[in-house]
Amino acid sequence: MAILIPFSGDEKDSNFGKILMSDVVVKRRRNVFRGRKWTSSDVATFGVVVALHLMCIFAPFMFNWGAFWVAFGLYVITGLFGIGLSFHRNLSHKSFKLPKWLEYFFAYCGLHALQGDPITWVSIHRYHHQFVDSEKDPHSPIEGFWFSHMSWLFDHNTIAPKCGKSKNVGDLEKQLYYRCLRSTYIIHPIVLGAMLYALGGFPYIVWGMDPSNLLVHRIEWTGRSATLLAGDRTGGRRGSSPLCCLHPNVEIQSTIYENSDIVP
C-alpha cells in the first residue's frame, strides 16, 4: 500500500500547500514507486504506459503514409468515438441514447484505447463524479498532482477500497455483452495488433497501437490536469477556467467540461 506522509495539527492547517495555480489543497502525497505494494495489475498497467512512450522512439523511423492514416483513423475510432462518445458521454453520464447495436459498436471501439473494459472505466468515472475532489475520489488531487494526473492508474491498493466492487454500474453488469468484454478484454487489443501486422507489418503496429493510443491518453490526462491547474471551485464546482474554451478537439473539450462538473 502507498505510504501516507504524516502531518500534525488540525486538518485545516495540516497540508502540503496548494497545487500550483489551483485552489486545491494537497493533504497527503503518495509515494508512487517506493514503500508500497505493487499488484500484478499495477505492474501490467505501468508496463503498458511505459511501453507506449518507448515505442514512440521508433515511430519516426517506421513512418509511411499508410501507417500515419491508420494511426489517425484509430485515434478517431478509439479515442473520439470509443472513449469520448461511448465510455464517457453515453455509458458514464447517459447523456443520450443510441440503438443498442450502435451503443455496443462504439463501446467495442473504446476497448482498443487500452484504458480498460467499459464496466471498469465507467465505474471509476462515476465514483469520481460522485465524490469529486474528496477522500473517496479515485483520482483526487488532494493526494497530489501526479497521483491525480496519472499515477492512480497503477495504484490498485489505493483505488480498490474507494471503488469497491463496481456497485454503481448495475446497468452495465446486467448486460451479457459488457460482462464478456470485461472477461475477454486483453484478447481484443492483441487481435487488433495481429491484424495491423498482417496489413502493414511493424510500421502499422507501431503507428496503429502507439501514437493513436498515447494521444488519447495524453489528451485525457492533460484535460483533467488543465482544469485542475487553472480552474476555481466557485460554489464547490471545479474549474470555470478559460482553458475550457481553448481547444477545439472534441475529446479534450468533453474531458475538460466534465472535469468542470458542467455536464451531468
| Distance from C-alpha of 202 to C-alpha of 17, rounded to nearest angstrom | 47
Cell numbers that stand for 224 in this block: 483533467
CA-nearest of 35, 1, 27 to 155 is 1
Rounded Cα distance between 168 and 170, Å, is 6
| Cβ-contact 256, 223 below 8 angstroms | yes
Which residue in this structure is represented by grid cell 463496481?
166
* Residuewise pLDDT in 10s, the chain (264 residues): 233 333 333 333 345 566 555 566 666 666 667 777 888 888 888 888 888 889 889 999 999 999 999 999 999 999 999 999 999 999 999 999 999 999 999 999 999 998 889 998 999 889 888 877 777 777 777 777 777 777 777 777 777 777 766 788 999 999 999 999 999 999 999 999 999 999 999 999 999 988 878 887 767 766 665 555 554 444 444 443 333 333 334 444 444 445 444 444
Kindly list the domain boundaries of the chain, sorted by start residue.
40-259
Q: What pLDDT does 228 receive?
A: 54
Phi and psi of 170, rounded to 5°?
-60, -30
Q: What is the pTM of this model?
A: 0.75
